[in-house]
Structure 1
């Protein structure tokens, strides 16, 4: 992984760590709970991806990811302690940004290992949603991925466009920008206008 992709990955970990820290604040957890929740949110999806792809787990090989989690959690705690109102909108925005970052990083890593585009999209979606899924389950919340507003679907669309751009021969940076912006934009619009994919008829 070149230096540019490495820093994108570090940023994604930090953003998801912020999301986990904000959720820990909402649930009134202690310091250890904050670190645990920030960590599983930040590295849960990528760890699952690497185990399935049978490659070394990224944070075991490079401890800078763990440092970014601790730094992000520390500064988020300071910020929250100086603001009385719980910033729910910031939690959702941080989650959306982390979702986009991790989705494209998962797709890129899978493609670099020579898997098919379909598997790459699945790996990107898994990387994006699993950390938040674990976070919400630990906090006894309905996972965002299972709620009505588009969540995993945004990863599928963004990852598919990233793979299509890669198939056309565009540079990896452009492919990731296309996929990341698509994922983030769709997620924000879904939250703003409550987009969903209804399957069952709503009760009268």
Structure 2
């Protein structure tokens, strides 16, 4: 699940960096921050060492390679993936990082609400850092279409199933699907949070 989430966010970071005409170094920084920003903040807050991207060096190497070949990656993604496809990839990443962050917080014996907040930080903070690096107002602050709210809902579904002693994989999948589906439906239906 984590691999899919990392790749989804890394590709989104590469695409945003290329739109800003960043060089390979800038592209790597943006893609790295997008893919690992939320998880790193979560690991710092939970005092987890080593960070998950240090444990899984292959993720970093993959993002490095994507950044070196960013122009090729951007052309392929632009040709193959429409804006809608990128939205789906981002929603999948949101769902996967939300539940895995919550799960890790529970393992660290955090209270339920704090665990949910850790899930939200895991899933949205990388995008905040990406937007800041690209000199944009973070999407989570400017877009009234539910985003963190969807992660919040999915984390509680995961927690509820955990409390009911559901199988861990089923609870993770249900929470991730809830987040992803809620995000996609909210965009499709044009739902807005009250101002």
Query: Is the shorter-chain TM-score for this pair beyond 0.5, marking a shared fold?
Result: yes
Identify the match of residue 36 of structure 1 among 2, 8, 29: 29
1:149-195 per-position Cα deviation (integer Å, ceiling 9, x unaligned): 00000010000110010010011101111100000001111111221
Residue 104 of structure 1 is matched in structure 2 by 99
Aligned length: 192
Unaligned runs of 5+ in 2: none
Q: Cα gap change, 1:60/1:140 in structure 2, threshold over 3 Å: closer, same or farther?
A: same
Indicate the residue corresponding to 1:193 in structure 2. Answer: 189
Comparing 184-193 with 67-76, greater Cα deviation is found at 67-76
8 Å Cα contact 2:24-2:67 kept in structure 1: no
Q: Which residue of the other structure, out of 125, 131, 149, is the alignment partner of 1:153?
A: 149
Aligned 8 A contact 2:27 2:70 in 1 = no
Question: Judging changes above 3 Å, is the alpha-carbon distance between structure 1 residues 31 and 149 closer, same or farther for their aligned structure 2 residues?
Answer: same
Cα deviation, residue 72, structure 1: 5.1
Is the partner of 2:151 in helix, strand or coil? helix
Residue 4 of structure 1 is matched in structure 2 by none
Q: Distance in 1 between matches of 2:91 and 2:98?
A: 11
Q: 1:81 to 1:197 in 2, by over 3 A?
A: closer
- What value does the CA root-mean-square deviation take over the aligned residues? 2.1
Residue 12 (structure 2) aligns with:
19
In the alignment, which of 61, 68, 82 is matched to residue 67 of structure 1?
A: 61
Q: Which stretch has the larger CA shift, 77-86 or 168-177?
A: 77-86
Alpha-carbon deviation of 1:33? 1.2
Cα displacement (A) at 1:71: 4.8
Query: How far apart, in 2, do the equivalents of 1:88 and 1:198 lie?
Result: 25
Does the Cα contact within 8 Å between 2:105 and 2:118 map onto a contact in 1? yes
Is 1:117 the counterpart of 2:112? The answer is yes
Q: Distance in 2 between matches of 1:112 and 1:68?
A: 28
Q: Is the CA contact 1:14–1:72 (under 8 Å) kept in the aligned structure 2?
A: no
1:133-172 paired onto structure 2 within 5 Å: 133-146=128-141, 147-172=143-168
Is 1:78 aligned with 2:75? Answer: no
- Structure 2 partner of 1:94: 89
Shift of 1:24: 1.0
Shift >6 Å, 4+ stretches? none
- C-alpha spacing 1:73/1:160, structure 2 compared with 1 (3 Å): farther
Question: Normalising to structure 1: TM-score of the pair?
Answer: 0.86
